[in-house]
Structure 1
Amino acid sequence: MANSTTIDIKPKRSVSVFLWAMALFVAISRFVTCSPFLPSAESVNFAFALRHFDLAAYQPPPPGNPVYFFFTWVCSAAGLSEVMALVAPGILSSALAVFPLYYLARRLFGIGAAAGAVVLYAVNPAVWMAALKPLPYALLLFPFFFSLRMVLRNLLLPTYLRKQTRFLGLYAGAICMGLMLGIAAHTAIFFISLFCVSIYGLVKLKRSKILFEMANGIIAGIGIWAIPYLVNVSVADLLGHVTGLVSSPYVARISTAEAGIGQRAWFVVWNLCTNGFAGMGLRHKAFYALPLAVLAAGLGWYLVRFRLRLKYFYLPVFFVPYLAWVFFFGNLFATTGALLLVPGCIVLISAGLDMMHRPRVYRIAIALLACWCAAVSITRVREYKRSVSPSLAVCRAVVVHPDDRFCFFGGASFRLFQYYFPDCKGYGIAAADELTKPLYRRLVKNRTVYITSEIPGVAGDARFEKVAGFSGNSYLYGATNAIDLYRMRADSAVAP
Structure 2
Amino acid sequence: MNFRYRVTILFCICLLTRLCFVAQYLDSCDSIDFALGLRDYDISRLQPHFPGYPVYLFTSWLFFKLFHHDVWALVIPGVLCSSLTIYPLSSLARHLFSERVALLTAVLYLINPLCWLQAERPTSDAMGLFFIIASAYFLYRITFSDCDNNQSSGKKIYLLLGSLCLGFGLGVRLSYFPFIILWIAVVVYLTTRSIHLKKHSTFYGCTGFITGISLWLFPQIAYIGWYHLWKNGLFFSHGHFTDWGGSIVTFGGLRRIACLVRSIWEYGLGGWWSGSSFSRLIPSFVMVISLLYSFKQHFSDRQRWFLGMYMIPYLIWIHFGQNVANPRHILPVIPILLLFISHGLCKAYEEVSRDISIRRNIFLFIRSFPGFPPKPYRGRKERDGSLTAAYCPVLFILTLIVSMSIFSLKLVIRYHHHIPAPIRLVQFVERQFDNLSTRIYCSEEKRFFEYYTPLWDVRMVRNAAQLNFDLQSSIDKPQNILVVHVSGEDKQFGTERSSLIMFQGNPYTDGLYKNLFLSVWNNL
Query: Does structure 1 residue 202 correspond to structure 2 residue 202?
Result: no
- The alignment-based identity, stated in percent, is 22
Query: Does structure 1 residue 142 correspond to structure 2 residue 130?
Result: yes
Give the SS at the match of 2:481.
Answer: strand
CA contact (8 A) 1:50 1:76 kept: yes
1:40 and 1:284 map into 2 onto residues whose CA distance is 24
Which of 63, 86, 91 is the equivalent residue of 2:74? 86
Offset of residue 254 of structure 1:
7.1
2:413 maps to a residue whose letter is R
Query: Does structure 1 residue 390 correspond to structure 2 residue 379?
Result: no
1:261 and 1:452 map into 2 onto residues whose CA distance is 27
Q: Which moved more, 1:333-342 or 1:275-284?
A: 275-284
Query: Does structure 1 residue 415 correspond to structure 2 residue 447?
Result: yes
Give the SS at the match of 2:440.
Answer: strand
Distance 1:167 1:75, change over 3 A: farther
Q: Which moved more, 1:122-131 or 1:301-310?
A: 301-310
1:219 and 1:408 map into 2 onto residues whose CA distance is 46
CA contact (8 A) 1:103 1:149 kept: yes
1:248-287 map, 5 Å: 258-280=250-272, 283-284=275-276, 286-287=278-279
Distance 1:288 1:36, change over 3 A: closer
CA contact (8 A) 1:295 1:349 kept: yes
Distance 1:459 1:316, change over 3 A: same
Offset of residue 76 of structure 1:
0.8
Q: Which moved more, 1:393-402 or 1:383-392?
A: 383-392
Which of 298, 321, 346 is the equivalent residue of 2:313? 321
Cα distance per residue 1:331-386 (max 9 Å; x no partner): 22112111011001111221222223235444332222111111111121133234
1:449 maps to a residue whose letter is I
Which of 14, 35, 40 is the equivalent residue of 1:26? 14
1:276 and 1:237 map into 2 onto residues whose CA distance is 37
Distance 1:113 1:457, change over 3 A: closer
1:435 maps to a residue whose letter is D
Which of 446, 459, 472 is the equivalent residue of 2:493? 459
1:27 and 1:281 map into 2 onto residues whose CA distance is 30
**Cα RMSD (Å) of the superposition?**
3.0
Query: Does structure 1 residue 101 correspond to structure 2 residue 89?
Result: yes
Give the SS at the match of 1:150.
Answer: helix
Query: Does structure 1 residue 72 correspond to structure 2 residue 107?
Result: no
TM (normalized to structure 1)? 0.86
Matching residue of 1:365 = 396
Matching residue of 1:309 = 301
CA contact (8 A) 2:500 2:519 kept: yes
Cα distance per residue 1:95-132 (max 9 Å; x no partner): 01111111111112111111111111110001001111
Cα distance per residue 1:29-66 (max 9 Å; x no partner): 11211221101111011101111111111001211011
1:364 and 1:254 map into 2 onto residues whose CA distance is 41
Which of 414, 434, 438 is the equivalent residue of 1:406? 438
TM (normalized to structure 2)? 0.82
1:160 maps to a residue whose letter is N
Q: Which moved more, 1:62-71 or 1:377-386?
A: 377-386
Q: Which moved more, 1:383-392 or 1:64-73?
A: 383-392
CA contact (8 A) 2:128 2:172 kept: yes
Matching residue of 1:221 = 212
2:509 and 2:128 map into 1 onto residues whose CA distance is 23
Query: Does structure 1 residue 189 correspond to structure 2 residue 178?
Result: yes
CA contact (8 A) 1:241 1:247 kept: no
Structure 2 gaps, min length 5: 354-390
Matching residue of 2:115 = 127
2:134 and 2:245 map into 1 onto residues whose CA distance is 34
2:276 and 2:435 map into 1 onto residues whose CA distance is 45
Query: Does structure 1 residue 484 correspond to structure 2 residue 512?
Result: no
Give the SS at the match of 1:134.
Answer: coil
Distance 1:407 1:342, change over 3 A: same
1:16 maps to a residue whose letter is R
Matching residue of 2:371 = none
Cα distance per residue 1:159-216 (max 9 Å; x no partner): 4244333453111101111011111112211111111122333334333122332222
Cα distance per residue 1:78-99 (max 9 Å; x no partner): 2251001111111100101111
Aligned length, in residue pairs: 473
Q: Which moved more, 1:214-223 or 1:349-358?
A: 349-358
Matching residue of 1:332 = 324
Q: Which moved more, 1:381-390 or 1:277-286?
A: 277-286
1:211 maps to a residue whose letter is T
2:469 and 2:63 map into 1 onto residues whose CA distance is 41
CA contact (8 A) 2:247 2:321 kept: no
Which of 472, 475, 479 is the equivalent residue of 1:441? 475
Distance 1:486 1:435, change over 3 A: farther
Q: Which moved more, 1:237-246 or 1:193-202?
A: 237-246
Select the structure of larger CA radius of gyration: 2
Matching residue of 1:9 = none
Give the SS at the match of 1:78.
Answer: helix
CA contact (8 A) 2:283 2:399 kept: no
Matching residue of 1:7 = none
Higher share in helix:
2
Give the SS at the match of 1:427.
Answer: strand
1:127 maps to a residue whose letter is C
Matching residue of 2:222 = 231
**Which aligned runs of 4 or more in structure 1 are off by greater than 6 angstroms?**
251-256, 454-458, 475-478
Give the SS at the match of 2:493.
Answer: coil
Which of 409, 418, 423 is the equivalent residue of 1:378? 409
Matching residue of 1:39 = 27
Q: Which moved more, 1:62-71 or 1:268-277?
A: 268-277
CA contact (8 A) 1:390 1:472 kept: yes
1:483 maps to a residue whose letter is L
